[in-house]
């Protein structure tokens, strides 16, 4: 569950708080649990809905800075997450839900209150933006290597 929450929050405390709230909601609504699904799947859906509700309530979109790992060419998972955090909030959430969490465009559109076509466009645009940022990072690394 923490891997899901960390993708949406840069602050670990916020991620932990959302996980705790999801567990609380699970316990409060345990009677609604359909035993034909795995409990982890049910909890994952509750967690994502909790996170999206929290993000909708806090509509501040902050630019996130990150530090480039200068010693290696390969980007670690945490570094890629930092690049994803640089996306606008709607792009970040749509990208996370579709690409990382595996929801269909129809499900993403329903969760975020956008059209299915808009979800597809946002994912495509997010991929372009991520590639551009990664290319810029690689160029910066190469320029730094010239000075070392």
Q: Could you please report the per-residue DSSP string of 8-61?
A: H-SSHHHHHHHHHHHHHHHHHTGGG--TTS-HHHHHHHHHHHHHHHHHHH----
The pLDDT of residue 36 is: 84
- In tens digits, the chain (148 residues) has pLDDT values of 778 888 888 778 888 888 888 888 888 888 888 888 788 888 888 888 888 888 777 654 433 333 344 444 445 666 777 888 899 999 999 999 998 888 999 999 999 999 999 999 999 999 999 888 888 887 887 877 777 6
| pTM of model > 0.75 | no
The pLDDT of residue 64 is: 35
Distance (Å, whole) CA 139 – CA 134: 9
Provide, for the chain, the percentages of residues in helix, strand and coil under a 3-state DSSP scheme, each rounded to the nearest 5: 70, 0, 30
What are the extents of the domains in the chain?
Answer: 1-60, 65-148
Answer for the pair 129, 136: CB distance below 8 angstroms, yes or no. Answer: no
Distance (Å, whole) CA 10 – CA 17: 13
CATH architecture of 65-148: Orthogonal Bundle (1.10)
């Amino acid at each position: 569950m923490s891997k899901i929450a960390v993708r949406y929050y840069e602050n670990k405390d916020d991620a932990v708080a959302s996980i705790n709230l999801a567990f609380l909601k699970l316990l409060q609504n345990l009677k609604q649990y359909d035993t034909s699904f795995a409990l982890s799947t049910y909890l994952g859906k509750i967690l994502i809905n909790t996170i999206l509700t929290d993000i909708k309530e806090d509509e501040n979109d902050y630019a996130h800075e990150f530090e480039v790992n200068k010693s290696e060419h390969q980007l670690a998972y945490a570094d890629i997450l930092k690049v994803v955090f640089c996306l606008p909030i709607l792009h970040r959430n749509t990208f996370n839900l579709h690409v990382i969490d595996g929801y269909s465009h129809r499900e993403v559109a329903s969760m975020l209150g956008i059209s299915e076509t808009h979800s597809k466009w946002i994912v495509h645009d997010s991929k372009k933006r991520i590639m551009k940022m990664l290319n810029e990072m690689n160029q910066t690394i190469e320029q730094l290597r010239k000075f070392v």
